[in-house]
Structure 1
Amino acid sequence: MTARQLAKPSLPHDIAFPRHYLRFGILDGSPPIPTGSRPSEPVPYQWSCHIETASGMIDEFGFLDTRGLDPIPELVETLLAVIGPKGAILVPSTHETALLHRLKRRLADPSGALAHILARVVEVDRLASRPKDHDARRTVSGSRPAALVLWPNDPVDPSPELCDDRAAEVAYLELIDARTQTIRRRQLIRALVRYGDFRISDLVHAVAEHSDGDPGPFASDPVFN
């Protein structure tokens, strides 16, 4: 997904721009999809990334697997297409760093792109936990590539509210279940994209609060795969 908004830069000056706030949606345990990973290894099915420039603009990007096949090759390909060669990669914790190391080992990283990302990772250990006003911060508009899926701009949003990562896992498993009806799939996709977006927004707010700054309200224009 992509969007632009104005944010107040508030991190220490030694953290390089552009600043990439990155988070993954991860399926723990034994995934019911073929991935090439060991059965006990967590499998990422989603990523969200907000990129802040030195001028204070934030672009929002994201990927969500909706097919239930091995999500890792496309997940990594889309991530590498978004993260540029410069700037810090801010992640919530060591959990994301460990995942990036696993992805690097599995894909062999012939270009060295994942190794370059890992060299720029900054782990943020404090996240904001206050509730968000979902409806006040979401719009849908604009033209999109045919390969991407848009959720309908319904007057009443029927999609579920996901309260935590476990609820997101359950929603993803229902999404990729062949028995799930189309309308329900749309609701789940919308809920998962929104959840990933707001969790990464929490990361941005947490870093700003830690630095006595205010990133300002988020007004996004989402697209997802």
Structure 2
Amino acid sequence: MHVNTRYLYLGGSYDLQQLFQEEDLTREVQERQSDIPARLSGMRQILASPMPPAIEPDHHCRSPYECPFWEHCTKGKPDRWVYYLPGGRYAFQRMTALGIQTIDEIPSAYPLKLLQQRVKDNVEWVGPGLQAALATVAYPVHHLDFETLGSAIPLYPNTRPYQSVPFQWSNHIETADGQLRHEAYLCSDSRDPREELAVALLESVGKQGSICTYTGYEHGVLTGLAHALPHLRSDLDHVCDRLWDLHTIVKAHYYHPAFEGSYSIKRVLPAVVPHLAYDDLEIQEGVLASLRFHRIAFGNTDSAERARIRKALLRYCERDTFGMVELRRALAIKTCANTSGRSEPISRALSRNLSPPKWGTEG
């Protein structure tokens, strides 16, 4: 039995016959029964042994979930262990078969994909097209981030299991003269937040300017809102047309060794804008944000705890959008340093209030 993700909750009582779906796995179970004695014997031998099993760490250690012994089993691996070369299990196994233990040991003539080569080179790279790419925004520039809740049991009418329902957004708005203001929305109770959230968002982003996001996640959320709110579909579709993905620009035009092959905002931001990490926040990632919102919306919390969680949620979402503002500015400074033939740390440039070039045009 498993959750039927096609079940549409219409409100009121749940139709459990539709919410849960039965599947007959008798044949699969019977086919595997003959393997059980041998597997049990192997497990007992491992339990009786005074030493851990001699199993080399690999991608199986993180599938389907990360093994809690990962840190223990990899503590003796080198800093630039070839496991961290982008390319997944195939790349790792291929390198291991060649006797290569570290990324630095990969022969210079060995054919690598572009991102793999960036990781191997282990140097900062500023592409010649970065400045032009940054200049494609139109002012005022909005920086948008959503937080969503996706529950196995639908919580709102006309939603399905695991459907992402936005409950919060943050928008940092930068004008052409560099002025910055922040606007935000956070649902405060258990009611369906989508229409109120969407109306507030449409008012915040207005009709002009690029809407900066990091990855295409916000596009998916907006598309879901347009489907759920047909009377707002046209306006939400226009918002989608204005999206400007900073993630694709960074991937195409910039690399920093601290990325270690990942372009996640949680990896990119601390590397490029060191003073804007997430370690000072109570909530530091989206899954915890969803859990905390569920707690204040549907849990039994007192007013003090609700206020504390709301503050933490607002700070976390605000950090994401302010991070995009600072990331754009820092990358613009990088282009200045690159075109002038010299380089300097971003932190030093920011401390001198070095103004980035004007990007795009108003409206």
Same fold (TM over 0.5): yes
User: CA separation in 2, counterparts of 1:64 and 1:166?
Assistant: 16
What SS does the corresponding residue of 2:301 show, helix, strand or coil? coil
The corresponding residue for 1:3 is: none
Return 5+ residue gaps in structure 1 as ranges: 1-9, 137-159, 218-225
Matched, 1:52 2:192: no
TM-score of the superposed pair, with normalisation by structure 2: 0.47
> Which of residues 106, 124, 141 in structure 2 aligns to 1:19?
141
Q: 1:171 aligns to what?
A: 292
Task: Measure how far apart 1:183 and its partner are.
Answer: 0.7
Task: Report the CA distance between 1:32 and its aligned residue.
Answer: 5.4
Q: Distance in 2 between matches of 1:111 and 1:166?
A: 28
Q: Kindly provide the CA deviation profile for residues 29-70 of structure 1, in whole angstroms up to 9, marking residues without a partner as x.
A: 436521422223111110000011111111100000110110
- Once the two structures are superposed, what CA deviation does each residue of 1:80-99 show, in whole Å capped at 9, x if it has no partner? 11111111011111111111
Matched residue, 2:307: 186
Matches within 5 A, 1:55-204: 55-110=177-232, 112-125=234-247, 126=250, 127=265, 128-130=268-270, 132=276, 161-204=282-325
Q: Distance in 2 between matches of 1:216 and 1:36?
A: 48
Distance (Å, rounded) in 1 between the aligned partners of 2:153 and 2:144: 23
Deviation at 1:120, TM superposition (A): 0.8
8 Å CA contact 1:27–1:169 kept in 2: the answer is yes
Give the aligned partner of residue 331 of structure 2: 210
Of all paired residues, the percent bearing the same amino acid is 25
Q: Could you tell me how far apart the structure 2 residues matched to 1:204 and 1:31 are?
A: 36
Equivalent-residue separation in structure 2 for 1:49 and 1:35 (angstroms) = 27
Call closer, same or farther: CA 1:161–1:94 in 2, change over 3 Å: same
Give ranges in structure 2 of 5+ residues lacking alignment.
Answer: 1-131, 251-264, 335-345, 352-363
Task: Tell me the alpha carbon deviations over residues 180-201 of structure 1, each in whole angstroms, 9 at most, x when there is no partner.
Answer: 1111101000100011111111
Greater relative CO (CA pairs within 8 A, separation 6+): 1
Normalised to the residue count of structure 1, the TM-score between the two structures is 0.73
SS at match of 2:139: coil
Deviation at 1:123, TM superposition (A): 1.2
RMSD, aligned α-carbons: 2.6
List per-residue Cα deviations over 1:107-157 (Å, max 9, x = no partner). 1145721111111111121534326489x9xxxxxxxxxxxxxxxxxxxxx
Larger helix proportion, structure 1 or 2? 2
What amino acid does structure 2 have at the position aligned with 1:48?
S
CA distance in 2: counterparts of 1:181 and 1:115, whole angstroms:
39
1:36 corresponds to: 158
Q: Of the two, which has the highest radius of gyration? A: 2
Residue 72 and residue 103 in structure 1: after superposition, are their counterparts in 2 closer, same or farther (change >3 A)?
Answer: same
- Aligned partners of 2:322 and 2:155: how far apart in 1? 29
Range 101-110 or range 46-55, more displaced: 101-110
Give the letter aligned to residue 237 of structure 2.
Answer: A
User: What residue number does 2:256 align with?
Assistant: none
> Contact conserved, 2:213 with 2:245, CA < 8 A, in 1?
yes
The AA in structure 2 aligned to 1:36 is: N
Name the amino acid aligned to 1:27: L
CA spacing shift, 1:216–1:97, aligned 2, 3 Å: farther
- Mapped to 2, the partners of 1:62 and 1:31 lie a distance apart of 27
Report the residue type matching 2:225 in the other structure. L
Question: What is the deviation of 1:173?
Answer: 1.2
